[in-house]
Amino acid sequence: MLVIVDMQNRILDPEDKNYVTGAARIIPAIQQRLKKARESGELVLFTRDIPIEHKDESEELRQLQIVRELAPLPEEYVFKKNYFALEPEQLIEIRELTEARKEEKKRIEVVGVELSLCVLANILALQGALPEADFFIDQQLVAGNQLNEATVRLLPAFNIESN
pLDDT digits (tens, 9 = 90+) for 80-117: 998 899 999 999 999 999 987 776 668 999 999 999 99
pLDDT in tens, 2-18: 999 999 999 999 999 99
Instruction: For Cα atoms 53, 22, 115, give the angle at the middle one, nearest 5 degrees.
Output: 60
Rounded to two decimals, what is the model's pTM?
0.94
User: Which residue in 3, 106, 88 sits closest to 45, CA to CA?
Assistant: 3
